[in-house]
Copies of this chain bind each other. A is one copy, B any other.
């Protein structure tokens, strides 16, 4: 039937499948037990990070909710930011030994990613790390989440990032089987977050939008506009949430933006970039900094390195999200002004925008750049990058 159409067709074919059930709002953690039952769980591993979910009373509330449904459970805490493979192996062992059939992650992206890795590994005969070296995840125990920080978008995504201790390899895995069957999003749970963590989470969300936005795919107005809408939301709400993490309204807007920024509803049908995430992973693996802080350093540098590849796309970004007046004689000025505004915005929130502020060191640049797996064609899609390019980007971030 193609014959009816003239000209090039630009939007790419795609599939979109986001079956996660979202329960959003105040008090929703009390529904955890009912949701585990609804999605087929009988014996639960509650997975979490440090003591904050205990101190806040969240863990008690979750346990009470499971007890109310007569669901037996085990606990496995100790997930660290940039979650490690060691704890994943421990979780897999525990699930097998105790015949756990449902993983409930209570925490942020690190906890959810660790839970996804356990869920995939528990039903796989080989080493779970295979998935982080490229094998698609086709089977996993069901995972539910109770999100405590909007950032990674893992609550609605089919992705997980884990760091392997030997060699500090930070790698991602994917598959619809690890999409959470439900996610509880209660903005109240973010009220006690440190301001810096709120800022880092916001930077991560903004980066997820930009990784999709900077594309070579033409004629994708609908996803351009949706990305811009989410970005504008962050510009309005993030400063409020950083000033006062207990601003429910700001956190609620950010929480829904964080999910929609990464379940791919705003990214379908277009080539996406993701080089900056790759380049950042080396920073957080080496210095154990927050992922969002690393992105805040890397993204503006990446933008300055690649903007000439499509000045008009960067000008569109500047004009539509930052309200920069278009300079029709010199669109490049508009493009560059947008990059400045982004960097100033992040800086104003207390985020680092240079190596020095992050505690990163110039002498590590070669090691980091050469540690990345470039494959045959390089990383990224907007512009393909090799080690020499990445070194330049790190230098632009000094």
Q: Which residues of A line the B interface, CB within 8 A?
A: 1-2, 4-28, 56-58, 187-189, 191-192, 218-223, 225-226, 228-230, 232-233, 236-237, 244, 246-249, 252-254, 256-257, 260, 265, 268-269
Q: Which of B1, B10, B244 contacts A189 (CB 8 A)?
A: B1
For the complex formed, measure the closest distance between the CB of A57 and the CB atoms of chain B, giving whole angstroms: 7
In the complex, A262→B356 CA distance in Å? 47
Closest residue of chain B to A237, judged by CB?
Answer: B221
**Assembly stoichiometry (copies):** 2
Instruction: Please give, as numbers and ranges, the residues of chain B lying within 8 Å of A246 by CB-CB distance.
Output: 4-6
Instruction: Please give, as numbers and ranges, the residues of chain B lying within 8 Å of A13 by CB-CB distance.
Output: 24-28
Closest residue of chain B to A23, judged by CB?
Answer: B15
Q: Is the CB of B257 within 8 A of A1?
A: no
Instruction: Please give, as numbers and ranges, the residues of chain B lying within 8 Å of A5 by CB-CB distance.
Output: 188, 191, 246-248
11 residue pairs from A and B, CB less than 8 Å apart: A5-B246, A5-B247, A6-B247, A9-B248, A13-B24, A13-B25, A17-B20, A19-B19, A221-B236, A221-B237, A221-B253
For the complex formed, measure the closest distance between the CB of A150 and the CB atoms of chain B, giving whole angstroms: 11
In the complex, A35→B269 CA distance in Å? 20
Q: Is the CB of B21 within 8 A of A257?
A: no
For the complex formed, measure the closest distance between the CB of A313 and the CB atoms of chain B, giving whole angstroms: 16
Most buried by B among A6, A188, A248: A248
Given contacts A15-B23, A24-B268, A188-B4, contact A260 B226 (CB under 8 A): yes
Closest residue of chain B to A4, judged by CB?
Answer: B191
Q: Is the CB of B248 within 8 A of A269?
A: no
Beyond the given A4-B191, A9-B252, A11-B252, please list 7 additional residue pairs across the A-B interface where CB-CB is below 8 A. A11-B253, A13-B28, A16-B21, A24-B269, A25-B269, A225-B229, A256-B268
For the complex formed, measure the closest distance between the CB of A296 and the CB atoms of chain B, giving whole angstroms: 21
Closest residue of chain B to A244, judged by CB?
Answer: B6
Closest residue of chain B to A226, judged by CB?
Answer: B229
Q: Nearest 6 CB-CB pairs, A to B?
A: A13-B25, A4-B191, A225-B229, A229-B229, A19-B19, A219-B249
In the complex, A228→B233 CA distance in Å? 12
Instruction: Please give, as numbers and ranges, the residues of chain B lying within 8 Å of A232 by CB-CB distance.
Output: 221, 225
Most buried by B among A6, A56, A252: A252
Given contacts A25-B13, A26-B2, contact A222 B233 (CB under 8 A): yes
Q: Is the CB of B4 within 8 A of A219?
A: no
Given contacts A222-B256, A269-B24, contact A4 B249 (CB under 8 A): no
In the complex, A6→B251 CA distance in Å? 12
Q: Is the CB of A253 within 8 A of B15?
A: no
Closest residue of chain B to A9, judged by CB?
Answer: B248
Q: Is the CB of B15 within 8 A of A22?
A: yes
Q: Is the CB of A226 within 8 A of B230?
A: yes
Instruction: Please give, as numbers and ranges, the residues of chain B lying within 8 Å of A58 by CB-CB distance.
Output: 1
In the complex, A187→B7 CA distance in Å? 14
Q: Is the CB of A22 within 8 A of B11?
A: no
In the complex, A149→B237 CA distance in Å? 37
For the complex formed, measure the closest distance between the CB of A197 and the CB atoms of chain B, giving whole angstroms: 15
